[in-house]
Structure 1
């Protein structure tokens, strides 16, 4: 059966448990082992689909249409695998399953309780994944922080699994924080000791502790934590902030992390094949030819994790092409004709970002008009492409062009974009979007086909409004065209202006398929054209 690696967090949230889990998966895969990763989130939402990106960052979309936590992006980028909607379960989804069973009478009249029914449901999910995917390792990240009330059922469930297998098939990694007090110039381990004691009180003794800190921790601190928690010193690992997050797998490799895990499970210690990853990290650290200033035009600009995968896709392509990249976020709601020249000054390229809702849309349309006029390389993603389409409509004389998503009953408007066929305006918000991977076919003579080096691709979607077919011939001209379509549904998937250096919009989300070991061709093309901008 699979070996289970459980990753928990202590002291504070936001420590990088997802990066730690992804890095461990990276090292195990490099040794030829198969890996599946699961994120268990303690919040009551069914999924992150209707949550503001200001809550937990972007909603990551899997190929099979799952709306998931952004940690799935870490898993896929670091492990270079496509995971699925099975990789993210929330308390909301788990409770929904339990209540559905209760209504069907499947608990035979018993009182439904957290223990055993909620914990049993969690264990059942983990075991079903093990049986379905049959990977050598199942890495399970528990969201939240040990001690949170909402995380308790998950901690009890994995503790029960550890007891059931007598520790033979379970390995617990605890990620904690060691604060540094500037006044006394001293690292403090008491929060970590307290966190480990809470875990022990719930039935879990960690097999490994990753000590997050702003700096490298001295051996004296590692020994102190090891002695206080009764864990081998070799299994207490300093995990400082690194200059680049992609260094983490190699850092953990130098700390013998994978070897410790394989020794514990009495599994063969194969030699890792990390040459490609090392080559990528070396590119990160290499002196760059030039710094590119990319303006990011969106609405969630106060929190860059709202666009996590786009940020990473741009950085990966810049690294691949030996450029340094500076991402400058601009709130589209603040953009107007009086300040646009100043706001976009110095831009080598502009990304018109995705999002939902009317706020900032007019700023995106204005940005699309300006960058096209000034021939600034521009990439529009999802709502960004829709803003480029509305901009074209207004250039064609349809001054009141907009999307039906932003319908205003008090105005006379022309809806260039409308709901996808089969969708209704009064549908519930969650789970009703066009989600997941589907095919796009490009026109043979299009620029986007040239950049992809193929006429058909499979990319992931997350939207509910599309370009209306009746407006396509009105909007197209000798320069502007809709260059990509869904082969069966005939839905518009991309637009471009062939007279410009780079002016391309895509209805899908190419950022979700960008990988450190496989930079995305469209982002590479955008970076190249941006580098040529004087």
Structure 2
């Protein structure tokens, strides 16, 4: 039977509960245990697919095509777990399941209520994860903050799970904040109040993780343990990291967090091998070169909007090329108005245009692609970034000034990008989500990167390149280097007379890990280093 670690947080949001949960999962995995990861989100949306990245960060896509919370990206990068749709539930999905059961008469005419029906469904999903994964330990991150009304069903379900499974099989890890007030004094009262709120719903935390700007003295930890009714030594500190979130596994291991959790779960003495993290940090601390990449996105975009792309560049720089990475954020809408685009890109060694939706900033993104092509700067386009390569070629080289995507302009005479159902032939109009097979053309740069004719990559796309224009694109130096095995849609472009210019329809960023960078990002960073020289 699987054991469960239930991770909650209090005081305020954005304390890093997803990273803390991921770190716990990583340390347990480094201890030789099979783990599973799960996120319980309090929003009513059935999934994260329609939530603005400005509100909730990027949409992370699993291999089986689920559009999920960005914390699953952290789960994937910190562990080796292959996440699925079952790894992320929202309260909207829970209510949807319960309503479907009620409509099917599965409750035998009983009144359907939050307790027991909603909480039973939450418990069923959590237990099901343990059963189907066969994991020794399931780490469950419960979204939201203790005290918020939307977290109540999850907390009640967690309380029941701890009681039903027993303290050796389900433990509570609570993340709180120790603020630093004027004068540098640390205050423990917010942590005490947060734990009190958790106790009021019937959960006594077994382990406390306290976010703080700096280290916390043992006397403060002992005070917190005493007032929060936790075992002495069960209070840990998550300080601000110096260079990377990947410092956390080493920090927590040195404090003994993994040993404490293993002890609480009755899993005995185990050796935790964290060499993958110490090796990564060693490379991070001793770079042999520096690299600066320009990432062009929508106006004032937040780092979390393109979280996986940023992390993939980071992995490729540190592990793949022993380089120190700086990412320059560039606003596409500002580019539309700038008079000196040369100055914007003067200090970058490579340019990335990640996936985007909507027309805002389109001309700035298009100008970026054209600049990278004309000035031979290493360029990586993902999703819309790849589609813009076709639009740029059509407008700049083919002379089709009105060439566009039907996502933005419906009456273009040269709709080089459109919905599959708008294109000639029997095309499927369903949005492509999740992993599917891609065929790479021999002799292309993409083939030399993968060294394989067939690969599997994850997708999140609806609009595609219209293959009627393929011959014209090739004639003007834009080569089709990959296509989908299932529907033959174009999956990748590359510029013929360019040192490194590749666009892909799929999303390689979703599978990159710190110790195993994705080959496409690895090759891109290597090309950027050569360009810098």
The two structures share one fold, judged by TM-score above 0.5: yes
Q: 40-49 or 481-490: which moved more? A: 481-490
Name 1:294's counterpart in structure 2.
293
Q: Structure 1: how far apart are the matches of 2:346 and 2:157?
A: 54
Alignment-derived partner of residue 529 in structure 1: 527
- Give the structure 2 partner of residue 331 of structure 1: 331
Kindly report which structure 2 residues correspond to 1:454-469, keeping only aligned pairs within 5 A, or say none. Answer: 454-469=452-467
What runs of 5+ residues in structure 1 fail to find an aligned partner?
Answer: 424-430
User: What's the CA shift for 1:422?
Assistant: 9.1
Offset at residue 291 of structure 1 (A) = 2.5
With structure 2 as the length reference, what TM-score do the two structures score?
0.95
- Tell me how far 1:331 sits from its aligned partner: 1.6
Deviation per residue, 1:111-140 (Å, 9 max, x gap): 221111111110111112222112101110
CA contact (8 A) 1:66 1:84 kept: yes
Shift, 1:477, TM fit: 2.5
SS in 1 for 2:475: coil
The match for 2:54 is: 54
CA contact (8 A) 1:80 1:517 kept: no
Deviation at 1:386, TM superposition (A): 0.5
SS of alignment partner, residue 19 of structure 2: helix
User: Deviation string for 1:24-80 (max 9, x for gaps)?
Assistant: 111111122111111000000111101110111000001110101111011111012
| Within-5 A mapping of 1:265-280 | 265-280=265-280
After superposition, the C-alpha distances for 1:426-477 in whole angstroms (9 at most, x for unaligned) are: xxxxx95210011111111000111222222111100100001111112112
Tell me the CA shift for residue 229 of structure 1: 0.8
Aligned to 1:517: 515
- Deviation per CA, 1:464-518: give whole Å up to 9, x if none: 0000111111211273201011123111110001311111000011111111111
Instruction: Confirm or deny: 8 A CA contact 1:53 1:300 kept in the other structure.
Output: no
How far apart are the structure 1 equivalents of 2:89 and 2:413?
41
Q: Which runs of 5+ in 2 are unaligned?
A: 424-428
Aligned residues: 523
Mapping of 1:358-377 within 5 angstroms? 358-377=359-378
Contact 1:178 1:211 in 2 (8 A): yes
Aligned residues of 1:300 and 1:306 also touching (Cα < 8 A): no
What is the alpha-carbon root mean square deviation over aligned residues? 1.6
Contact 2:459 2:506 in 1 (8 A): yes
Show the counterpart of 1:43. 43
Aligned to 1:155: 155
Cα distance per residue 1:359-416 (max 9 Å; x no partner):
112221111111110111110001100111111111211111111111255xx44210
Deviates more, 1:37-46 or 1:259-268: 259-268
Q: Distance in 1 between matches of 2:232 and 2:182?
A: 26
Contact (CA 8 Å) 1:173, 1:207: kept in 2 or not?
Answer: yes
The CA distance in 2 between the partners of 1:453 and 1:432, in whole Å, is 30
CA contact (8 A) 1:216 1:238 kept: yes
SS in 1 for 2:11: coil
TM-score (norm 1): 0.95
CA distance in 1, matches of 2:453, 2:91: 42
Q: For each residue in 1:216-248, what CA deviation from the matched residue of structure 2 results, as whole angstroms up to 9, or x when unmatched?
A: 111121111011011122110111111221011
Contact 2:437–2:486 (CA<8 Å) still a contact in 1? no
1:220 is aligned to: 219
Task: Trace 1:229-308 onto structure 2 (pairs within 5 A).
Answer: 229-243=228-242, 244-286=244-286, 288-299=287-298, 301-308=300-307
The separation in 2 between residues aligned to 1:204 and 1:285, in whole angstroms, is 41
Query: Which of 200-209 and 414-423 deviates more?
Result: 414-423
Provide the secondary structure at the position in 2 that maps to 1:180.
Answer: coil
Give the superposition deviation at 1:107.
Answer: 2.0
Structure 1 match to 2:445: 447
Q: State the partner residue of 2:402.
A: 400
| Cα offset, 1:421, TM superposition | 4.1
Residue pair 2:299, 2:332 contacting (<8 A) in 1 also:
no
Alignment of 1:162-241 (within 5 A): 162-183=162-183, 185-241=184-240
Mapped partners of 2:262, 2:479: distance in 1 = 55
Contact 1:434 1:461 in 2 (8 A): yes
Q: 1:415 and 1:81 mapped to 2: Cα distance?
A: 41
Q: How many Å separate the matches in 1 of 2:447 and 2:187?
A: 56
Change (3 A) 1:259 1:422: farther
In 1: Cα distance, 2:422 partner to 2:12 partner: 45
Partner SS, residue 313 of structure 1: helix
2:76 pairs with 1:76: yes
Q: 1:438 aligns with which of 436, 440, 461?
A: 436
How far apart, CA to CA, are the structure 2 residues paired with 1:503 and 1:165?
A: 55
Q: Counterpart of 1:427? A: none
Question: Which digits, 9 at most, give the CA deviation of each residue in 1:80-122, with x for residues without a partner?
Answer: 2221111100011111111112222222222221111111110
Corresponding residue for 2:125? 125
Q: Are the counterparts in 2 of residues 180 and 187 from structure 1 also a CA contact under 8 Å?
A: yes
* Superposed displacement of residue 296, structure 1: 0.7
For residues 57 and 300 of structure 1, the distance between their equivalents in structure 2, rounded to whole angstroms, comes to: 14
Contact preservation (8 Å) 1:361, 1:387: no
1:50 alignment partner, SS class: coil
1: CA distance, partners of 2:446 / 2:174: 45
Find out whether 1:498 has 2:496 as its counterpart: yes
- 8 Å Cα contact 1:447/1:498 also seen in 2: no
The 8 Å contact of residues 299 and 333 in structure 2, kept in 1 or not, is answered as no
**Equivalent residues of 2:398, 2:476 under 8 A apart:** no
3-state SS, counterpart of residue 310 of structure 1 = helix
Deviation at 1:268, TM superposition (A): 3.2
Distance of aligned partners of 1:47 and 1:432 in 2 relative to their CA distance in 1, 3 Å threshold: farther
Mean CA deviation greater in 442-451 or 294-303: 294-303
How far does residue 301 in structure 1 lie from its aligned partner after superposition? 4.0
* Partner of residue 143, structure 2: 143
Runs of 4+ in 1 over 3 A off after TM superposition: none
